[in-house]
Amino acid sequence: MAGVGAGVSGQPIPFRQFIVKTHGRCNLACTYCYLYEGPDSGWRDRPAAASADVLERTAGRIAEHARAHALGDLALVLHGGEPLLAGAGTLARFTDRVRERAPAGCAVHAVVQTNGTLLTEDRLRVLTDAGVRVGISLDGGTAAHNRRRVDHAGRPSWPAAVRGARLVADRFPASYAGVLTVVDPELDPVETYESLLALRPPALDLLLPHGNWSARPPGQTGARYGDWLCAVFDRWWAAGRRETRVRLFEECVALLLGLPAAGEALGLAPFDAVVVETDGSIEQVDSLKSAYPGAAETGLDIFRHAFDEALRHPGVAARQAGADALAGQCRACPLLRVCGGGHYAHRYRAGHGFRNPSVYCADLQRFIRHVAGRLAGAAAAVPAVVPAAVSPSSPLSSPSPSSPLSPLSPREGSAP
């Protein structure tokens, strides 16, 4: 699934992840939000909530796509804005309709991604009964960490958010999907991680804030973000047990070992997610909106078009083209198979499109090499496991190494 060139055969990979904007507004006004504070203000022109008609037609289009491609499973992501503004009952009924209309044998994995402030016991029961898992977005596990997550009056969201997170952990642990955290390099990495552990998430993901060559990430100097991730990785790696799953770390380990992985942050797996906006527009994922206005648009909608038509959109095709869609520096880089050029949105440069290395190139190198070093160290501790040192004839010892487990190449690290 993560091989170089997967999806390059000319045959598009069907969508398996359907992100449905059940509500297009948010009860918070986080100061760094790429959607509401970023360059694309298209949300202002769309209905606040998806209508019953949009949701019903979306369920039909998802079922049509699942049937056409004989999907054995798919992910239904209830998103926003703040999706719970649509009401837990609406989310549950919509999920039920997608499951009812999906072909027999197609499992629908449903999750809602929320800021946590609207979670109550009643709402969680409705979601749990409908088989909808709950992911929460937080910047850390303390009020100070979440200082940028405020409501429209500037009041902190933390008291309500932590109440919601604790409610899920205490009363509905089987429905708890995890916590998403945007990295803030101003915060202490280990303290941030340990504070998140206190919320008992079954999984975490650490997201680099959206930025690109024309709108640099906040506070980016050297490999500051990479160093931050390395510090958390070491705390996670040395814990003596796996305290929680950390998606970024585990995908990196998988890729370094040549195993399948899927994710936007790393690797070359063809991307298989599509978005339905509140007005029924079919779009690419929101992160592209951090690049320029209209970057996610396809010109398609669920009233007139099947999802198959979106598979033919050039932007979708580029994200399924593996290494072929990358800059020359990336294709020549020994970390290519693991890094994969980083997150697509982070490659953008005004006037040059997305065929550039990631604006986080130095950070990704620092992080990937750090993880590889820890893996190599663990293997070295068990002599029976360590294969013979690389022989002179091995491709790993050639002057132009192609494996991420090869010595540093002077070609890597170049950036436009």
Partner 1 sequence: LLIVLREVLRELRDRMMWGFDNSF
CB 339 within 8 A of CB 371: no
CB of 185 to partner 1, least distance (A): 18
Would you say 118 or 153 has its CB closer to partner 1? 118
What the block records as the tokens of 141 is 């596990």
As a dihedral over the C-alpha atoms of residue 116, residue 119, residue 121, residue 123, rounded to 10 degrees, the angle is -130
CB of 87 to partner 1, least distance (A): 19
Q: How deeply is 305 buried, as exposed, middle or buried, from its count of CB atoms within 10 A (0-12, 13-18, 19+)?
A: middle
Would you say 189 or 267 has its CB closer to partner 1? 267
180 in the Ramachandran plot: left (φ > 0), alpha (ψ -120 to 50) or beta? beta
CB of 406 to partner 1, least distance (A): 10
CB of 73 to partner 1, least distance (A): 10
Kindly report the backbone phi and psi dihedral angles of residue 17, in degrees, each rounded to the nearest multiple of 5, phi listed first: -125, 120
One-letter amino acid for residue 290 of the chain = S
Q: β-strand 203-207 against 245-246: which pairing, if any?
A: parallel
Would you say 17 or 214 has its CB closer to partner 1? 17
The site for partner 1 (CB under 8 A) is made up of 1, 16-17, 19, 75, 77, 79, 109, 111, 113, 133, 135, 177-178, 180, 203, 205, 207, 236-242, 245, 247, 250-251, 253-254, 256-260, 262-265, 269, 271-273, 285-287, 343, 372, 375-376, 378-379, 381-382, 385, 403, 405
CB of 164 to partner 1, least distance (A): 16
CB of 32 to partner 1, least distance (A): 14
- Taking the CA of residue 178 as centre, how many other CA atoms within 13 Å lie in the half-sphere pointing to its CB? 12
CB of 237 to partner 1, least distance (A): 6
CB of 378 to partner 1, least distance (A): 5
Q: How deeply is 295 buried, as exposed, middle or buried, from its count of CB atoms within 10 A (0-12, 13-18, 19+)?
A: buried
As a dihedral over the C-alpha atoms of residue 88, residue 93, residue 94, residue 100, rounded to 10 degrees, the angle is 150
Would you say 77 or 310 has its CB closer to partner 1? 77
Would you say 35 or 187 has its CB closer to partner 1? 35
Would you say 127 or 303 has its CB closer to partner 1? 127
CB of 327 to partner 1, least distance (A): 21
Would you say 376 or 415 has its CB closer to partner 1? 376
CA 7 to chain centre: 19
Would you say 97 or 346 has its CB closer to partner 1? 346
Kindly report the backbone phi and psi dihedral angles of residue 290, in degrees, each rounded to the nearest multiple of 5, phi listed first: -75, -15
CB atoms within 10 A of CB 394: 13
Please name which of 60, 49, 8 lies closest in space to residue 270, comparing C-alpha atoms.
Answer: 8
As a dihedral over the C-alpha atoms of residue 358, residue 361, residue 365, residue 368, rounded to 10 degrees, the angle is -30
CB of 153 to partner 1, least distance (A): 26
In this structure, which long-range contacts are made by residues 325-330, counting pairs with CB atoms below 8 Å and at least 24 apart in sequence? 325/354, 325/355, 326/355, 327/355, 327/356, 327/357, 327/416, 329/357, 329/411, 329/414, 329/415, 329/416, 330/357
CB of 351 to partner 1, least distance (A): 26
Would you say 409 or 414 has its CB closer to partner 1? 409
- Taking the CA of residue 83 as centre, how many other CA atoms within 13 Å lie in the half-sphere pointing to its CB? 31
| Contact partners, residue 287, CB within 8 Å, separation at least 6 | 34, 210, 264, 343, 344, 345
Q: How deeply is 384 buried, as exposed, middle or buried, from its count of CB atoms within 10 A (0-12, 13-18, 19+)?
A: exposed
Would you say 169 or 203 has its CB closer to partner 1? 203
